[in-house]
Structure 1
Amino acid sequence: MGTYKKGINGRFTGKVGNTVGSQWKGIPVMKSLPDFSNHKASEKQLAHRAKFSLATKFLQPLYPVIQLGFQNQDNLKSPYNAAMSELIKYTIEGEYPNCRVNLENLVLAVGPLQVANRPSVEINGEEVVFNWRYKASNNDLFANNGVIMVAIAEGYYPEYSICESIRSAGTATMLLPDAPPGTEVHCYLAFAAMDDSKRVSNSIHVGTVVIPDDE
């Protein structure tokens, strides 16, 4: 894909030969149509497609979290595409066809805000409780940061909470994923500025909890 300011006859949209003109985020772009081939996909191509499919399936339920957590990344990438690139490059592991998401390495937010201090998680009934150390100061710019919490049980729909609590509370709760007793749940914590700055903190894999037996 290429960008341009002026074509031979100015900007254009639509198809001319094997070239398509369009706009993306207000930027004029040109790209060529794909070449169709009867050749069988190589092992490397199959592996890439498998990783892409796995990443897409994994990120879709987390779309609102991704939109916030990656909103201040590369301006030429959408937050979703930035998260997709991060996931494929650094988090999906294993050899095709046995690829998996390494949940301990998962990143859900990237930014300059201060990360959580001494975070921890614990179970309370049907909820997971996030705790972190907060020390107030006279000029605390982070006190009203919104809290981003995510709980992921592999193979089940994730749960998340976005900016329903603030950093200065030092604790917040959210529902556990709807998974059977004994399922391990990975928990993540980040913060977001409650203004138009688009600033977030890096997410932290706080730890895991296990869904308790029904009483």
Structure 2
Amino acid sequence: MGTITKGILGGFSGKVGTVVGSSWNSISYMRSLADGYTDPKTEKQVCQRGRFAEVVRFLRTMVPYLRLGYKEHPAGQSAYSSAMSYVLKNAVEGCGADAAVDFQKAMISRGSLVVPGDASVEAAAGKLTFTWTDNSGNGNADADDVAMVLAYNKVKAEAVYDLEAGARADGTAELTLPGSWGDEALAVYLSFRSAQGKSVSNSLCLQDDEVASSPGDGSDGEDGADDDSGQGTFG
């Protein structure tokens, strides 16, 4: 019930029907009640929410990598937002609870720098060894281009990466994996950036393991990571 404070021409406080009266700094004002929030959860909404959640689960583990990998993102859009947009549109299958990232199609780096030739990766003794053919001089590829490597644990929803793993001319780089990962399914990526940091290459997915039939759930966490060091682990 509303209360008139200064007669019929004065302000009032409280609720009268769908109108609320109040005052601030001796100024009386009225506002209408907010409409009740409805969450119809249509089939389309459920589908999109599931797809969005899967992409966030993946990309939140590698924000520093994305800042470099999507350096050539459109003006007015952050690197993370640009990565989200690309993966949502091009690398997600299924809907709702059945949504899943297609790691072969997901790009964690996009740009105009030439990719290396004959790239591959091998896992042994708790580390990944990347190899590629040095194609310096091919287009805009330079010998001092910097290799960026990343491994994503599909079961734990964690990532480890090295943003300065070696030079294009080296033809090889290594990445140590956490001991707790064991033989869990990985998605492994390689990309390059110019030494001056002005251009980046598209990422290459060199390994895409199938998840076992009954995996453990990945842990939840805050969206994004602010570690700007050259190496990182996020889960």
For normalisation by structure 1, the TM-score amounts to: 0.73
**Where in structure 2 are there 5+ consecutive unaligned residues?**
1-34, 211-235
Helix, strand or coil for the counterpart of 1:173?
strand
In structure 2, distance between residues paired with 1:105 and 1:36: 41
Deviation, 1:76, is 2.2
Deviation, 1:97, is 2.3
In structure 2, distance between residues paired with 1:113 and 1:150: 18
Taking a change above 3 Å as real, the CA distance of residues 180 and 79 of structure 1, as seen in their structure-2 partners, is: closer
Please give the residue correspondences for 1:106-125 in structure 2 after superposition, counting only pairs within 5 Å: 106-125=106-125
Counterpart in 2 of 1:169? 170
Taking a change above 3 Å as real, the CA distance of residues 129 and 39 of structure 1, as seen in their structure-2 partners, is: closer
Deviation, 1:160, is 0.8
Paired residue type of 1:144: D
In structure 1, distance between residues paired with 2:75 and 2:140: 29
Paired residue type of 1:63: V
In terms of mean alpha carbon deviation, does 37-46 or 54-63 score higher?
Answer: 37-46
In structure 1, distance between residues paired with 2:154 and 2:169: 31
Structure with more contact order per residue of length (Cα contacts < 8 Å, sep ≥ 6): 2
Calculate the aligned-residue CA RMSD, in Å: 2.6
Taking a change above 3 Å as real, the CA distance of residues 177 and 87 of structure 1, as seen in their structure-2 partners, is: farther
Deviation, 1:165, is 1.2
Q: Do the aligned partners of 2:50 and 2:95 also contact (CA within 8 Å) in 1?
A: no
Counterpart in 2 of 1:155? 155
Deviation, 1:41, is 2.6
Deviations for 1:163-213, whole angstroms, at most 9, x for unmatched residues? 23111100000012555443232211100012152x001111123579xxx
Deviation, 1:50, is 2.1
Helix, strand or coil for the counterpart of 2:130?
strand
Please give the residue correspondences for 1:12-161 in structure 2 after superposition, counting only pairs within 5 Å: 37-38=37-38, 40-135=40-135, 142-156=142-156, 157-161=158-162
Larger radius of gyration: 2
Helix, strand or coil for the counterpart of 2:200?
coil
Counterpart in 2 of 1:31? none
Taking a change above 3 Å as real, the CA distance of residues 63 and 136 of structure 1, as seen in their structure-2 partners, is: closer
In terms of mean alpha carbon deviation, does 58-67 or 45-54 score higher?
Answer: 45-54
Counterpart in 2 of 1:185? 186
Deviations for 1:127-155, whole angstroms, at most 9, x for unmatched residues? 10000011566x98511111110112212
Structure 1 runs of 4+ aligned residues shifted over 4 Å read 177-180
Helix, strand or coil for the counterpart of 1:53?
helix
In structure 2, distance between residues paired with 1:113 and 1:36: 51
In structure 1, distance between residues paired with 2:92 and 2:142: 33
**Equivalences, count:** 176
**Where in structure 1 are there 5+ consecutive unaligned residues?**
1-34, 211-215
Taking a change above 3 Å as real, the CA distance of residues 147 and 36 of structure 1, as seen in their structure-2 partners, is: farther
